Chain A
Amino acid sequence: MAAQANTAGTQKGFLQWAKSRKGQQVIIILAFMIIPLALLFTFTYLPFGEMVGYSFYQMKYVGKKTFVGWKNYASVFSRKDCFGALKLSLYYMGGSIVQLALALYLATILSFKVKGGNIFKGFMFFPYLINGIAIGFIFKFFYTRGFVFDTVLQWCGFQLDNLPYWLRDQRINNISLVGTSVWRYFGQNMVLFIGAIMSVDSELYEAAMLDGANRFAQFRYIILPSIKTIVTLNVILSITGSLSAFEPPYVITSGANGTGTYFVVMNEIAHTQQKVGLASAMAVVLLLIIFAATILQKLFFKYVFRNAEDEDFGASARRDKKLAKYAARKAGR
């Protein structure tokens, strides 16, 4: 009897609580977060945990697992095709530097008045919207012997016999692939930079014009300082991106002829050879490298921008000192 009354009491209490503002807040917070958090857990953190676990086993997706300890990790570093593939990311780093410089140059041009600026911008941005598989076909076609690229070079006076096989010749094929990645992303980078440049107060340009600053001086002293943050951010992202380069070789050469980047090799080991343990170990190793790189970059970033702030801080401190001196003199008088 007493117990029943008690549950009725808590039930009533709960209903009251649920009707109160506080209760409603808790309910809406829980209701609105359960789905996103469930998705985040199921498709990001659970697999992340599982992957770390897999990396200690010799296993396939189905069938039995054998615990092998650190053996997979040892293979990652000893197998030629695994860790060595990271060397290729240097090509992609080089490519992304070219891409950022090009994007910055074109963004600077386009953020001043240009006839047909929007059309140029559209042309250069559009490659970003094409799907990866289509890009693969487009460039297989583009680089085929005697096809588009060779024809254009012949128009410029090159002899076909002197041209290499763009996708087969190991001296050049990684550069050809990096080129496709630059082609795909430089327009998108450019749009980012234009956005950043546009956010600069236009009065600054007018003032500079009146002072007789030329275009280069405007770039050097107005544009560059104000977009320093976004440029640095993109340089950082491109380094991490280069380590995990995947798409160009995956869709164009399938990693043949020495174009297999780390992730292409990992993808092959995971899904074709089904050596899930080894592939997981590869993924974990690269994730650790990426984290380390990100932390180093964050520190670097902080250091660079703290310096800039210090300058300001120093200036204001000096001004304060001057004011204090002035005030003291006044008071002394």
Chain B
Amino acid sequence: MTALQKIGHYLVIFLKYLSLVFFSFVAVLPVVSCAITAFKSEEEYQNTNVMTLPQSWLNPDNFLQAFERANMGKAFINSTIILITVLVVSVLVGTSLAYVLNRFKFPGNGLIRNLFLFATLLPGVAMQVAVYGIMNSLNFINSLPGYIIMMCGTDVIAIYIYIQFFENISVSLDESAIIDGASYFTIYYKILLPLLKPAIVTACILKGVGTYNEYYCANLYLQNKKILPTVATSLYTFVGPLGSKYNLICAGVIISLLPALIVFILFQKQIYSGMTAGSVKG
């Protein structure tokens, strides 16, 4: 290597790390600045610049106050109920639909697949104009079960993840079970469902993050925020008179994103693979 090539080589490495550090900084700055403010006392918040570090990183006052004012205890309970029900129902519904669509040839199979695909083209916000009318006539407004049933609806990406996975499970497995006299339900429930576990984990993480973070429909259909807050909608407490108390708001924001952070740290690999799997067909 000549000296010039060497310089070029190191310059490329330098630029590579510079861009990584710069964009990582851009990505974390808004969140980190929020965390900084969340640890400041009222007086500190009034008198120091937002980017000055707090005196104590262990000051829990804002977190406690935000938790109480935004009724976040109740919100976590509701969000957990919603999350678990939605996940269980959508795994059962999604895998059984994928099983039928993948394993049986029947008239309308292609049509049903296309009906689900076409549904992804309809933007959610536009649909809510009319879904609201239907929720209203079903008496599903301000009803936790109603919201849960709505959230269990079409989840095309998960269905495609399952179908893809079924394609890689040999049909000979089904056939030998049939010879042994197993019913189709037994094949699905006892043989295929356990094999589907990796796909279920991936789909659950995607759906779980989506459900936990959902705020638009929750705001629209769970209007009684005293009784029916979710973690995402509980943050609406800070719209209005509390709107400039950023030390409280930031604490609330940080509390609300902690579960997502923990799940992210634990399941990084599955989340990344879920993103990729979901995109290929979706």
Contact call A130/B112, Cβ cutoff below 8 A: no
- A102 and B123 contact, Cβ closer than 8 Å, known pairs A132-B216, A151-B50: no
Contact call A191/B272, Cβ cutoff below 8 A: yes
Interface residues of A, CB < 8 Å — how many?
84
User: With a CB–CB cut-off of 8 A, which chain A residues contact B154?
Assistant: 36, 39-40, 43-44
Other A-B pairs, 17, CB within 8 Å; known A276-B129, A280-B129: A25-B104, A37-B112, A40-B153, A43-B153, A46-B134, A47-B127, A62-B136, A114-B17, A122-B264, A131-B260, A187-B27, A188-B275, A244-B126, A270-B128, A283-B129, A287-B122, A287-B126
Determine the residue in chain A with the shortest Cβ distance to B126: A283
User: With a CB–CB cut-off of 8 A, which chain B residues contact A106?
Assistant: 19-20, 23
User: With a CB–CB cut-off of 8 A, which chain B residues contact A276?
Assistant: 129, 133
Q: Is A51 an interface residue (CB 8 A)?
A: yes
The residue that B268 contacts in the complex, of A122, A195, A233, with Cβ under 8 A, is A122
- A32 and B129 contact, Cβ closer than 8 Å, known pairs A48-B122, A138-B34: no
Determine the residue in chain A with the shortest Cβ distance to B279: A192
The residue that B99 contacts in the complex, of A32, A51, A147, with Cβ under 8 A, is A32
Contact call B23/A102, Cβ cutoff below 8 A: yes
A-contacting 9-mer, from B55-63, B163-171, B190-198, B228-236: B228-236
Q: Is A100 an interface residue (CB 8 A)?
A: no
- Which residues of B line the A interface, CB within 8 A? 12, 16-17, 19-21, 23-24, 26-31, 33-34, 37, 49-51, 93-94, 96-97, 99-100, 104, 106, 112, 115-116, 119, 121-123, 125-134, 136, 149-150, 152-154, 178, 183-185, 188, 209, 212-216, 220, 231-233, 235-236, 238, 246, 249-250, 252-253, 256-257, 260-261, 263-264, 268, 271-273, 275-276, 279-280
Distance between Cα atoms of A48 and B122 in the complex (Å): 9
Contact call A129/B112, Cβ cutoff below 8 A: no
Contact call B130/A54, Cβ cutoff below 8 A: yes
Contact call A44/B127, Cβ cutoff below 8 A: yes
A-B contact pairs, 20 of them (CB 8 A): A21-B178, A25-B104, A32-B99, A39-B93, A46-B134, A51-B130, A61-B133, A102-B23, A120-B24, A134-B257, A148-B50, A195-B276, A195-B279, A230-B279, A233-B279, A266-B129, A276-B133, A280-B129, A287-B126, A290-B121
Q: Closest Cβ of chain A: how far from B179's Cβ, in Å?
A: 12
User: With a CB–CB cut-off of 8 A, which chain A residues contact B106?
Assistant: 25, 29
Contact call B49/A130, Cβ cutoff below 8 A: no
Contact call A244/B123, Cβ cutoff below 8 A: yes
- A137 and B127 contact, Cβ closer than 8 Å, known pairs A29-B106, A124-B24, A191-B275: no
Q: Closest Cβ of chain A: how far from B29's Cβ, in Å?
A: 7
Q: Closest Cβ of chain B: how far from A325's Cβ, in Å?
A: 42
Distance between Cα atoms of A44 and B136 in the complex (Å): 15
Contact call B150/A43, Cβ cutoff below 8 A: yes
Q: Closest Cβ of chain A: how far from B180's Cβ, in Å?
A: 14
Distance between Cα atoms of A295 and B108 in the complex (Å): 23
Q: Closest Cβ of chain A: how far from B205's Cβ, in Å?
A: 10
Distance between Cα atoms of A105 and B16 in the complex (Å): 10
Contact with B along A140-173 (1 / 0, CB 8 A): 0110101110011000000000000000000000
Q: Kindly list the 3 A-B residue pairs having the minimum CB-CB distance in the complex, ordered from nearest.
A: A195-B276, A131-B213, A47-B130
> Which residues of chain A (95-152) have a CB below 8 Å from chain B?
102, 105-106, 109-110, 114, 118-120, 122-127, 129-134, 137-139, 141-142, 144, 146-148, 151-152
Q: Closest Cβ of chain A: how far from B40's Cβ, in Å?
A: 13
User: With a CB–CB cut-off of 8 A, which chain A residues contact B96?
Assistant: 32, 36
Chain A interface mostly helix, strand, loop or mixed?
A: helix
Q: Closest Cβ of chain B: how far from A151's Cβ, in Å?
A: 5
Q: Closest Cβ of chain A: how far from B54's Cβ, in Å?
A: 14
Determine the residue in chain B with the shortest Cβ distance to A150: B50
Distance between Cα atoms of A50 and B250 in the complex (Å): 41
User: With a CB–CB cut-off of 8 A, which chain A residues contact B185?
Assistant: 28
Distance between Cα atoms of A141 and B184 in the complex (Å): 56
Distance between Cα atoms of A44 and B252 in the complex (Å): 34
Determine the residue in chain B with the shortest Cβ distance to A277: B129
Q: Closest Cβ of chain A: how far from B217's Cβ, in Å?
A: 10
Distance between Cα atoms of A190 and B29 in the complex (Å): 19
